[in-house]
Every structure is written in structure tokens, then in C-alpha cells.
Amino acid sequence: MSDHQLRTRTPAGPAQGPRTPGSRAAVALRAAAPALAVYAAARALGLLVFWAAASAAGKDPLGPLSGRWDSVWYQRIAENGYGYTVTLPDGSVHADLAFFPLLPALERGLSEVTPLTLGGAGLLVAWTAGLVAAWGVFAVGAHLYGRRTGVVLAALWGVYPTAFVQSMAYTETLFTALAAWALYAVLKGRWIVAGALTVLAGLTRPTAAALIAALAITAAVTLVREYRAGDSGGGGGGGIGPVLRRHARMVAGVALAPLGWLAYVVFVAVREGSPFAYFDVQAQWGNNIDGGRALA
């Protein structure tokens, strides 16, 4: 080696090995830290206002968060399994089969391995999932339009009109966390991961049907575009078969996605002895598609 080469060679820095999944997650978490901080601050402020109002009224501040409305149904399922019904004065029957099983399963599991009650376990799941959801919402926004957009979206997730339910032992945060990360996985081309997360979302809330449709429509548009591009390219694209083979993981992810939702609907059908039993249960609760009227 010549003296000139020795003088001009750049000293080698420390060896940089491939990043491990843990290191990648740590980098992603640091990037999302501002979004998580804004979201946590929004929810903490909401809780502080609620706590002050409840204390001023002489009421238990935590009671409504883990011991009211749907949270009671989830805890009853966690403790006793399915099979509870209530007959209202108007003769309508409300059955616990309207509630999906993932949250009560998590409540039961946490309460058995920690000192937490079922209500406390439900709050832990909801609050933790809220942060994970904010991270996922940030990740989608940052991937599409930059970190500033991601932070704004995470903040909006924490303050939208019915965001108070995020502080309750409900399924909104758990479902949103699974949905946000499923959509992020689609954007990154990780279709098997997206399908698996959608399976879990389908065991959380009936609104997983919208997530399933989003994956299916995205895949269909992608396949049709590629098929048309190959067909119009003059190379004779070879039909849809080669396109499907090139996107085998996409097809597998879409096929996987509805299995959680379908599994629960089939479970209710078998238990009640009717193929449409789940929809009958929901109708008894008065749940139907109203175009957003109830929310408005």
C-alpha cells in the first residue's frame, strides 16, 4: 500500500451490525415520544377534570370508569363466562353475547397474575391500549405525511368528542390500537401481520368488519391495477394467476383477516342454534346502522 493510500484512507468507525427488532422499536418509540406525550397530557387533563367534578359531587371518581355500563358486562363475562341475560320492563332481552371476548379474556388473565381486580385490569388494558393506539395513529400519519401530521393525529385521537370512553374499561382503545397498527402494517407491505392484528380486532368489537373491508378493498385495488398494468404493457401479463402468486402474502393476509370476527359470530350461532343468532342479539340491544344519527 502506498504512502498516499495510507494518508488518504478514512479510518474505519465502529462496526455497525444489523439493527435488532428491539433497537428498531426503541428508535420508533423515541420518534413517537412527542405524540405520546401530547396524547397522555390530553387524557390526563380529561381525567383531572373528571376527578375534580366527581370529588366535588361526593362521588367515587374511579367508579364510573370501571363499574358502569358496558364495563360491568365485560367484567361479568371475565368472571363467569357467557350466559347472562337481562329482561327489561318492555320485554326486550339483553344478552351478554353482544360483547366480544378479547377484553374480558385480558381482564381475567391480568387479574389472575396480578393483585388487580377485574375492574382495575380493565382500566390497565384500556389506558395502555390508548397509548399504543396513539403510537399507531402517529405511525400512520408520520408514514404518509410526516411526523408533524402524526403528532396532530395522535392529539386529535385524545380529544375527539367521545374520547372520554378511552379512560373507561371499554374496548375502544384496544380496538383502535389493533386497527391502527394493522393499517400501518398494510402501508409497510406486511400483510400477514395486518391480517393477524385484524383477527384480534375481530375478537374485540363488531366494527372490525370495517377494518376487514379496508384490507380487502386495498388488496383488490392493488391486484386489479397490477393486472391492468401488465395487460396493457404489451407483454401479455399472463392473466391474474401470476399477479396472485406475486402477492401471495397479501392474499393470505386478507384471507386471515376475517377469521376472528367470523369465529365469534359462528360461536354465537352454534351456542344459540341459529345461523343469524349474533345479529338477533345485536338487534335486541337496538344496535343497527343509522348513518351516524346516534353519534350526532
pTM recorded for the entire structure: 0.86
Q: Show the cell assigned to 53.
A: 367534578
Contact 34, 150 (CB under 8 A): no
Mean pLDDT, rounded, of the chain: 88
Condensed to tens digits (0 to 9), the pLDDT of residues 153-181 reads: 999 999 988 898 999 999 999 999 999 99
pLDDT at 5 over 60: no
Give percent above pLDDT 90 in the chain. 64
Q: What is the pLDDT of residue 288?
A: 73
**What is the band of 213 on the pLDDT scale with cuts at 50, 70, 90?**
very high
Q: Cα dihedral sign for 287, 264, 257, 112? A: positive
Contact 201, 211 (CB under 8 A): yes
Condensed to tens digits (0 to 9), the pLDDT of residues 37-66 reads: 999 999 999 889 888 888 888 887 777 788
**What is the band of 8 on the pLDDT scale with cuts at 50, 70, 90?**
very low
Q: Show the cell assigned to 268.
A: 354465537
Q: What is the pLDDT of residue 3?
A: 47
Nearest of 166, 184, 168, 176 to residue 200 by alpha carbon? 176
**What is the band of 296 on the pLDDT scale with cuts at 50, 70, 90?**
confident
pLDDT at 232 over 80: no
> Which amino acid would we find at residue 6?
L
Give the span between the Cα atoms of 201 and 195, in whole angstroms.
10
